[in-house]
């Protein structure tokens, strides 16, 4: 499996380490504007380095491409990949623009491209357990409560709203996506935001914090709190500022931290702990590469259509928050 990588950010290294564990995966080319970083990442693979991904696509005979870029850089690359390769894995969120994402979906659909969106948490045993429990007809999810309150990520693009879409769209999207995966699609959202506390950060245009309420098509509810304001004085709490609770009448599943370790509560005394997976990126990437090799995409748990729905929900929350009165906004896809 000849693989090309587009992007040299921190998540690229996670994907490359995962690919080392997959038999038959061969990274033959890496494209990125940071040529020095691209060379560093390419060296263990003896991969060819490109500063222009379009040149990489034209010169290399690739089976699959990993697009590991910030949200605002999607669009033309997906279109080109749909013309050159059989399979594409796209990092989340798939764009900061719903219109762009819908155009990309058209490119992939027309070409018959096998696509996986990198919502790797869907593959975790803790999330699979939650889905199995909440999919039971007598045990549907009723209420979810999520929190993603961590320090501001360092990349300059992250702190620019027009590039990242803000924290709910760029980071808390993982929590929302788990809720969609286990409880169904969201119908309506309502949100509030606050700004003005991050005074020392130049060119900061994302929100300091947001609260978001969601109503699912099933009637279930979810609430999320997200913020990037912490400095000192925020000691490590369980989960390091990231946690999600999913509740039905019979169970409560609590997921904590970046690794989303789970605890299932089934009564006053009964609880089962689900440890984190060793390398969830390896599990996700193998499912994607197996689909490309076989032509059967049923093992991909997060197809592009699902990534589009999660994006539409986060963008609806952003729209509601910018009305300043938290008015409800319907999810458009």
Q: Which pLDDT tens digit goes with each residue over 238-296?
A: 667 999 999 999 999 999 999 999 999 987 667 899 988 889 999 999 999 999 999 99
Res 239: pLDDT: 64
Burial of residue 12 (CB within 10 Å: 0-12, 13-18, 19+) is buried
Is the pLDDT score of 235 beyond 70?
Answer: no
Query: Taking the model in full, what pTM does it have?
Result: 0.96
Is the pLDDT score of 35 beyond 90?
Answer: yes
Res 12: pLDDT: 98
Q: Tell me the mean pLDDT in the region 181-193.
A: 97
Is the pLDDT score of 232 beyond 80?
Answer: no
The neighbouring-strand residues paired with 6 are 31, 67
Q: Tell me the mean pLDDT in the region 77-102.
A: 97
**200 vs 236, more confident:** 200
Q: Quote the CA–CA distance of 120 and 110 in Å, as a whole number.
A: 26
Is the pLDDT score of 309 beyond 90?
Answer: yes
Q: Quote the CA–CA distance of 119 and 98 in Å, as a whole number.
A: 18
Q: Quote the CA–CA distance of 22 and 18 in Å, as a whole number.
A: 7
Res 298: pLDDT: 97
Is the pLDDT score of 302 beyond 90?
Answer: yes
Q: Which of 81-85, 131-135, 232-236, 322-326 has the lowest mean pLDDT?
A: 232-236
Q: Return the HEC string of the chain.
A: CEEEEECCCHHHHHHHHHHCCCCCCEEEEEECCCHHHHHHHHHHHCCEEECCHHHHHHHCCCCEEEECCCHHHCCHHHHHHHHHCCEEEECCCCCCCHHHHHHHHHHHHHHCCEEEECCHHHHCHHHHHHHHHHCCCCCCCCEEEEEEECCCCCCHHHHCHHHHCCHHHHCCHHHHHHHHHHHCCEEEEEEEEECCCCCCCCCCCCCCEEEEEEEECCCCEEEEEEECCCCCCCCCCCCCCEEEEEECCCCEEEEECCCCEEEEECCCCCEEEECCCCCHHHHHHHHHHHHHHHCCHHHCCCCHHHHHHHHHHHHHHHHHHHCCCCCCEECCC
Is the pLDDT score of 99 beyond 80?
Answer: yes
Is the pLDDT score of 332 beyond 90?
Answer: no
Which CATH superfamily does the domain covering 122-276+312-330 fall into?
A: Dihydrodipicolinate Reductase; domain 2 (3.30.360.10)
Q: Where are the domains of the chain?
A: 2-120+281-301, 122-276+312-330
Res 231: pLDDT: 84
Q: 262: Cβ–Cβ under 8 A, 6 or more apart, which residues?
A: 124, 125, 126, 127, 129, 130, 253, 254, 255, 256, 273, 274
Q: Tell me the mean pLDDT in the region 327-332.
A: 95
Which CATH superfamily does the domain covering 2-120+281-301 fall into?
A: NAD(P)-binding Rossmann-like Domain (3.40.50.720)
pLDDT band at 125 (very low <50, low <70, confident <90, very high): very high
209-227 residue pLDDT tens: 999 999 999 999 999 999 9
Q: Tell me the mean pLDDT in the region 108-133.
A: 97
Res 138: pLDDT: 83
Res 238: pLDDT: 65
Counting Cα atoms < 13 Å in the Cβ hemisphere of 282 gives 11
Res 233: pLDDT: 63
């Amino acid at each position: 499996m000849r693989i090309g990588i587009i992007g040299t950010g921190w998540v690229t290294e996670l994907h490359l380490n995962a690919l080392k564990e997959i038999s038959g995966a061969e990274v033959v080319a890496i494209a990125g504007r940071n040529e020095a970083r691209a060379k560093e990442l390419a060296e263990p693979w003896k991969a060819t380095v490109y500063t222009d991904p379009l040149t990489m696509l034209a010169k290399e005979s690739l089976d699959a491409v990993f697009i590991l870029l910030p949200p605002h850089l999607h669009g033309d690359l997906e279109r080109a990949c749909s013309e050159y390769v059989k399979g594409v894995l796209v990092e989340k969120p798939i764009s900061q623009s719903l219109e762009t994402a819908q155009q990309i979906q058209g490119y992939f659909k027309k070409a018959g491209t096998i696509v996986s969106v990198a919502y790797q948490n869907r593959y975790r045993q803790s999330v699979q357990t939650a889905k199995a429990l909440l999919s039971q007809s007598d045990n549907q999810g009723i209420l979810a409560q999520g929190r993603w309150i961590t320090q501001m990520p360092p990349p300059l693009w992250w702190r620019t709203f027009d590039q990242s879409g803000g924290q709910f769209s760029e980071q808390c999207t993982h929590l929302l996506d788990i809720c969609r995966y286990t409880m169904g699609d969201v119908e309506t959202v309502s949100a509030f935001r606050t700004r003005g506390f991050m005074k020392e950060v130049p060119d900061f245009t994302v929100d300091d914090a947001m609260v978001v309420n969601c109503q699912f098509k099933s009637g279930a509810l979810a609430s999320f709190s997200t913020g990037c304001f912490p400095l000192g004085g925020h000691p490590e709490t369980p989960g390091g500022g990231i946690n999600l609770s999913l509740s039905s009448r019979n169970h409560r599943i609590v997921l904590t931290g970046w690794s989303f370790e789970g605890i299932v509560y089934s009564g006053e005394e009964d609880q089962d702990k689900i440890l984190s997976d060793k390398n969830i990126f390896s599990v996700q990437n193998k499912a994607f590469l197996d689909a490309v090799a076989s032509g059967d995409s049923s093992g991909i748990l997060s197809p592009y259509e699902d990534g589009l729905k999660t994006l539409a929900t986060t963008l609806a929350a952003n729209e509601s928050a910018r009305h300043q009165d938290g008015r409800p906004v319907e999810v458009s896809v």
